[in-house]
Structure 1
Amino acid sequence: MKLSGGARMAAGDAQEAAGSGKREAAARHWLTYYIKKTIRVVPHSSSFGGGRRRQRFKHVQVFCDSPSFRVNVPDRYLLAIRGRPAVLGCEFTPDPDLSSLVITWQRSENSQVVHSFYYQQDQLDRQSREFHNRTSLFISELGKGNASLRMNSVGPKDAGQYLCQVSNAKGTGQAQIELDYGALYSEPRFYIHVNSTTVTVQFETEGFPKPEVIWLGEHGQNLSYHLELHDQTEDGLYIVKSSFEAQKPVVNVTFTLKNHLLNQNLQRPVILSYVSNEAGGRSWKMAAIISLSIISIILFAVVMFLQFKKPIKSNL
């Protein structure tokens, strides 16, 4: 555990006192200093006249008799997925007496209070507004050394470093965990836009974080495409619109989207053929001309046949 200069001096005093037979007093001195100056998570609220509330810090002493006290996180990295609760794991050396148990979860970057527990109950007066009604401890597991935090409605802003701080009658400690966030991209919506000369196929989807987009041709070659990546929505999602424009009447392409964070790989092949209105009109006109020509030839042949079939009069 990283201590401030004053805390290191207090710890040094504790070692000297221990060498001179004053180990218990030194341990009290060091731990009291550390909790008061570093953790400071045991506020005691009192009411005064006029409805005003005032906070003062209660002086707490914890004995650190056992060097075996530990606070640790089973996994230092946690990936939260949109729509699912995240459980930030934290374990500590338990003590049957919960009256001295203090648990505080904080953001490492800005020391925001995520969740607090002391006096054998949740203390959420100092909880940051962003986490209101979203966090909880496993109360029935505290006596077993489980200080894990459950967080609901996880979003992109929740990603970052979290600090689990625990103290009880056996000691005090802290451990850090990193929380990341991702959202699976939705089933891509398919659109077709046709004009007189080209056909455009487009896919649209939402997710997080920014994806990799690839368009492949019939033989696996990379194709040039258009990509629109809109700003995040209120849910913290990116809106992705990607399209490919074909210059020929047969389209055989594959749209691929990769969300590397969540190992998501979406592939949607597109195979279609089309005939433009202009081309169809030309074909109809040509067919009509050919048909009329054939009919004219047939009529001419019939007339000639009838003409030659007439009997020839004799001058006898």
Structure 2
Amino acid sequence: MLCIKLSFFIFLDFHTIIAFFVVKAPNLTYTARYGDTVQMICNFPVPKEDDLNKLTVSWQHFPPQHDEARQVTMFTNGRESVLSQEKTYNGRASLLIQELKNGLAILQIGEVNPTDAGTYLCVLQLGGSDYKEITLNVQASYRNIETSSHISEDNEISLMCESLGFPKAEVYWKKNEVNLSLPVNTSHTQTPNGLYKITSTIKGIDMNQRYNCVFWNKELNEETEASLKHSGLLTHASNYNRYPQRNDSGHHTQPLQTAIITTIIGFIVVFLVVIILFLKRRQCFKCFKKKGDRSSAL
């Protein structure tokens, strides 16, 4: 009976210690774009300067549909250890050590890719211990759409669109802003860094018509599209609800960027003209002055 009571009090005392050391997170979900840098934050009671050597910080990653944790970074004995770090995070993930004295355990991941998505566990120990779970979502727009065309031996024309992004997008085709019901073959593969490579082909089209392939990324609520004919010359990806203007020939234009470049070139030309006129005027003035001096001498 005495042992049971003693165990009970030890249990209470242990959880009382832990209760004073609470880890919090200002955000439980982060969303990052492919190639960007993301910082995920855990807060803990501000330690004394001498306690930093006793502090242990561990960031672990649980990818979707994986039960095993991946060690992202570890801080122990006053320094960050990279020996236990998974190779996929080498040179990309680190702990902002200078922020630990402020009670902030900040994990920074650079060059984010889809394989970084999932659940992150922020575990801290200093007298007591506590943790927080944080979710990271990764998105990649299907901005760069490659196109090509092909004509078979029986003169059947096919058009192809291909792009990389994340998550997996749906692809549909349209002509004159009307969705097509022609047979479409769409397939996908995944690259080592987790991006989806989606290829879509449409057959039996009219050589004289222009067609659009549209990539619909549901998670980003974003559409990107490419316009092409059999020659495959017209290719441009545009953001959903932000389509570039077109000129009479049908090619996409960027009026703002063109106007800025034209203005800069105009200023440069005017500046050069002014300099040339100034130098010529100065040279003529010197010639006139020399002639005047000679006349006076005579």
**TM-score when normalising by structure 2:** 0.63
User: How far is 1:231 from its partner?
Assistant: 2.2
Give the distance between the partners of 1:129 and 1:272, measured in 2 at CA. 45
> What SS is found at the alignment partner of 2:129?
strand
1:175 and 2:132 aligned: yes
User: How far is 1:78 from its partner?
Assistant: 2.0
1:149 and 2:107 aligned: yes
Give the distance between the partners of 2:26 and 2:181, measured in 1 at CA. 45
RMSD over equivalenced CA pairs, Å: 3.1
Q: Cα distance 1:107–1:258, how it changes in 2: closer, same or farther (>3 A)?
A: same
**Of 184, 193, 205, which residue of structure 1 is paired with 2:141?**
184
Give 1:1-316 correspondences, 5 Å limit.
12-14=8-10, 26=13, 30=14, 64=17, 67=19, 69-97=21-49, 98-108=52-62, 109-169=67-127, 171-194=128-151, 197-218=155-176, 220-270=178-228
> What SS is found at the alignment partner of 1:71?
coil
Query: Does the 8 A contact of 2:29 with 2:134 survive in 1?
Result: yes
> What SS is found at the alignment partner of 2:181?
coil
User: How far is 1:202 from its partner?
Assistant: 2.0
Q: Cα distance 1:69–1:182, how it changes in 2: closer, same or farther (>3 A)?
A: same
Give the distance between the partners of 2:213 and 2:198, measured in 1 at CA. 13
**TM-score when normalising by structure 1:** 0.60
Give the distance between the partners of 1:68 and 1:265, measured in 2 at CA. 49
Give the distance between the partners of 2:82 and 2:230, measured in 1 at CA. 59
Give the distance between the partners of 1:103 and 1:13, measured in 2 at CA. 28
**CA-to-partner distance for each residue in 1:192-224, whole Å, 9 max, x for gaps?**
324564432222222222211111233523423
Q: Which runs of 5+ in 2 are unaligned?
A: 232-298
Q: What letter matches 2:117 in structure 1?
A: A
Give the distance between the partners of 1:252 and 1:209, measured in 2 at CA. 28
Give the distance between the partners of 1:13 and 1:225, measured in 2 at CA. 72
User: How far is 1:121 from its partner?
Assistant: 0.9
User: How far is 1:14 from its partner?
Assistant: 4.1
Q: What letter matches 1:141 in structure 2?
A: E
Q: Which runs of 5+ in 1 are unaligned?
A: 1-8, 17-25, 32-62, 274-316
